[in-house]
Amino acid sequence: MKLSLILAATVAASPLGGRLKLRFKPLFPFFEVGEAVECTDLIVTAEGGLNYKSARGNIPAEIGRRGAAEGKAVIVLAGTLGEHLGDVLDEGVCAYFSALGRPQSLKDAMRNVRSQLERIAEQVMRTFLAGVALGHPRTGVGQG
């Protein structure tokens, strides 16, 4: 089983005459995303704030589309979760998780970002391993 973590930044138009493009188009060839999607079973990507707009040109939705086309599982880690997240799931994303475990100020969230990301990454992998265990009921999670 292969796992890929696909990280990408948001690209914005330059105030000096740059052209706004869908965020994934300039980045995917550079990071060889197509090849990464082909050779992995689980794809984990991230977005600061996941909401209905994420399904309209943001990287997680495009990763979801590409992953679904290849029969791969795509999970999104997000700082915050907004409205109408079914739109993101409709694009091929299997699941999403929020890094914020409780209501808190932006200042507190940024101060604790490392521990929150560690917690969410652990929970994602535990969920994934639980799914794997369902396919192998005799061994179970963490056994043989």
Domain spans of the chain, in order of start: 3-10+21-135
DSSP helix/strand/coil, 47: strand
Q: pLDDT at position 25, please?
A: 59
Distance, in Å, from the CA atom of 135 to the CA atom of 39, rounded to the nearest integer, reads 21
**Over residues 76-91, mean pLDDT:** 89
Q: pLDDT at position 90, please?
A: 93
Contact in structure between 21 and 29 (CB atoms under 8 Å): no
User: Where are the strands (E) in 82-136, listed by range?
Assistant: 95-98
**Over residues 69-78, mean pLDDT:** 89
Residue showing tokens 């696909």 = 6
CATH code that applies to domain 3-10+21-135: 3.40.50.10350
Kindly report the pTM of this predicted structure. Answer: 0.70
